[in-house]
Structure 1
Amino acid sequence: MALFLLGRRFFTCRADINMTAVHAYCSSVASGRQRVNGVDLYYEQTGRGRHAVLLLPGALGSTKTDFGPQLKSLNKELFTVVGWDPRGYGQSRPPDRDFPSDFFERDAKDAVDLMKTLGFSKFSLLGWSDGGITALVAAARNPNLINKMVVWGSNAFISQQDLKLYEAVRDVSKWSVRMRQPMEEVYGAEVFAKTWEAWVDGIAQFAHKPEGSICLELLPLISCPTLIIHGEKDPMVPSFHPQHLLQHIKGSRLHLMPEGKHNLHLKYADEFNKLVEDFLQQ
């Protein structure tokens, strides 16, 4: 859930990237749209490393709101970093976002097919919150394509405790201006409020499935090295969720950040980026 956001960045270096419908709108990030599964998906790409990495944003999130410090500071010699806006989010509109029962599966297919369209035969996943759930699905469904995976602020099932947390944030008019503003800049106040309510209903539907499963049955299918990061002060993701992932993803490891909240990759970007770079290089 992309409740805490960052919308400002951009820097300097060349964008030597040759792609369809791409323009370099700053000197280090190339942006463009690719037609994937019937929709035009917006993405940004930076770096020239051999190790490709896809950033997967949280609910209603986008490259612009969710991953500024990663696009800026992940090692551009080692990694080629791609951020994207899932269909109906950010600049991947139209279409308007909807939340059918398979929306995580749909996002996972879109994400993988986007990377294949961009010419990446194997890549790693960095997934935050809803993006982490999408990454779990993508890794389970595409074991031969995924190199490594990092997920944080994510869950594979919905508990009654989770439902209460989601209902508590349903009404965005009760959010602080600081929390609302980045999303309202992307969507406008009315569309943001409407889409957020639709997301709350969309995520809540999983509570009616056996064991509240979003993707419980897929966790044993994940074979790539997986790093789970959890902020111990995360107000939206109870600690039993990363523990469950650790227990059910073979060979995974868990790193706890004692002061981390839901947006730990933004608030503690230097620590997070180093942790990720070290893991991806191992």
Structure 2
Amino acid sequence: MAWVSCTNLLSSFRATLASVKGAPVWAPRLLSPYSTFVKSGMKNVNGVHLHYQQTGSGSHAVLLLPGALGSSHTDFGPQLDYLNKEYFTVVAWDPRGYGKSIPPERDFPLDFFSRDAGDAVALMKALSFNKFSMLGWSDGGITALTAAAVYPSVMNKLVVWGANAYVTQEDLQLYNAVRDVSTWSEKMRKPMEKIYGPEYFAKTWLKWVEGISQFALQPDGNICREMLPQIVCPTLIIHGQKDPMVPNFHPEFLHKHIKNSRLHLMPEGKHNLHLRFSKDFNKLVEEFLLER
């Protein structure tokens, strides 16, 4: 894939961050006509307090996993509001060190995706869901892939988009293009600073860039590529063909190495396709999750 300019990359981030929605903890939001309220809570899991939002009363439990520095608050408004609440119980979480799951401060050891996968599964079990599906965006998609491989008995179905199983030199160029948040536009930077404060956001974003970049030093840039054949649940890989963060070869690799998978391409989709095209995305996901 040709090099994506920093301007285009920042435009994609700007579009994502402009979609940030706010709602106070425990304050209900009216949802779609036949739905329930969204509630928020905390669970002590693996030695940390994890924040989550939950809605719906359906028999099919679904966990939404956000991207880098993302949270239930910022990344999944259209899914919490409009995924069918009769069929699904929808949970969105803040991984440790993100959103309202602070403390602890976020760090990025080499096993941070495996750690997040363990936290995610433990959270759902703490909420009394022993089998569930995962919808993972970007970093959350990598976490979901890891969880599906390591904890196959709890996984119903898997949906990932904007995810990759390894890091290339091209990926490093993309990450480095946005590593310095002082170069971001105010419109792009302020929403994240509102959540984290300027210092924590700048520090943590830099740590994320360094954390994801360390995988380029592993054999074949490995994050979880050797785990993909271990994924046995039905898997839907969605990819926006205009995604400036994730080159097209990444979803193709996932599709090739996950046996029971399908690949759906969105020609106009960018990295935040589930926000920009939320109606089409939700419909696609619902149909996949409800298939027998």
TM-score for both structures, normalised by structure 2: 0.90
**Which residue pairs with 1:8 in the alignment?**
21
Match of 2:28 in 1: 26
Aligned residue runs from structure 1 range 1-282, under 5 A:
3=13, 4-5=16-17, 6-8=19-21, 24-27=26-29, 28-282=37-291
Corresponding position of 1:13 = none
1-structure distance, mates of 2:222, 2:135? 22
SS in 1 for 2:265: strand
In 2, Cα distance between the equivalents of 1:165 and 1:9? Answer: 29
Contact 1:65 1:182 in 2 (8 A): no
* Contact 1:230-1:256 within 8 A present in 2 as well: yes
> What is the RMSD of the two structures over their aligned residues, measured on CA atoms?
1.4
Helix, strand or coil for the counterpart of 2:182?
helix
TM-score between both structures, scaled by the size of structure 1 = 0.93
Q: Percent identity?
A: 67
Equivalent AA in structure 2 for residue 237 of structure 1: V
Gaps of 5+ in 2: 1-8, 30-36
Aligned length in residues: 270
In 1: Cα distance, 2:22 partner to 2:80 partner: 9
Superposition deviation, residue 9 in structure 1: 6.0
Looking at structure 2, the residues matched to 90 and 181 of structure 1 have their Cα atoms a distance apart, in angstroms, of 15
Aligned partners of 2:185, 2:154: CA distance in 1, in Å?
40
Deviation for aligned residue 1:55: 0.2
Q: Per-residue deviation at 1:179?
A: 2.1
Cα distance in 2 for partners of 1:67, 1:205 equals 28
Q: 1-side partners of 2:39 and 2:203: how far apart?
A: 31
DSSP-derived class of the 2:51 partner: strand
Q: Which amino acid aligns with 1:54?
A: L
The C-alpha deviation readout for 1:180-233, integer Å capped at 9, x for no partner, is 222111101121111000000000000010000000110000000000000000
Deviation sequence 1:106-125 (CA, Å, 0-9, x none): 00000000000000010000
Give the Cα–Cα distance (whole angstroms) in 1 for the partners of residues 187 and 244 of structure 2. 17
Q: Hey, which bits of structure 1, 4+ residues long, moved more than 4 A?
A: none
| 2:20–2:74 CA contact under 8 A, matched in 1 | yes
CA distance in 2: counterparts of 1:53 and 1:9, whole angstroms: 22
CA shift in 2, pair 1:9/1:49, >3 Å? farther
8 Å Cα contact 1:148-1:224 kept in structure 2: yes
Over residues 91-112 of structure 1, what are the superposed CA-to-partner deviations in whole Å (9 max), with x where a residue is unaligned? 0000000000100000000000
Corresponding letter in the other structure for 2:27: Y
Contact 1:58 1:129 in 2 (8 A): yes
5+ unaligned residues in a row in structure 1: which ranges? 11-22
Q: 1:148 to 1:223 in 2, by over 3 A?
A: same
SS in 2 for 1:40: strand
What is the distance in 2 between the residues matched to 1:117 and 1:177? 39
Deviation at 1:177, TM superposition (A): 2.3
Distance 2:50 2:192 in 1: 19
Whole-angstrom CA distance in 2 between matches of 1:181 and 1:75: 32
What is the Cα deviation at residue 53 of structure 1? 0.2
2-side partners of 1:61 and 1:46: how far apart?
19
Deviations 1:119-173, CA, capped at 9 Å, x for gaps: 0010000000000000000000111100000000000000000001000010112
How far has the Cα of 1:25 moved from its partner? 2.0
Note the alpha carbon deviations across 1:240-262, whole angstroms, 9 max, x for none: 00000000000200000000000
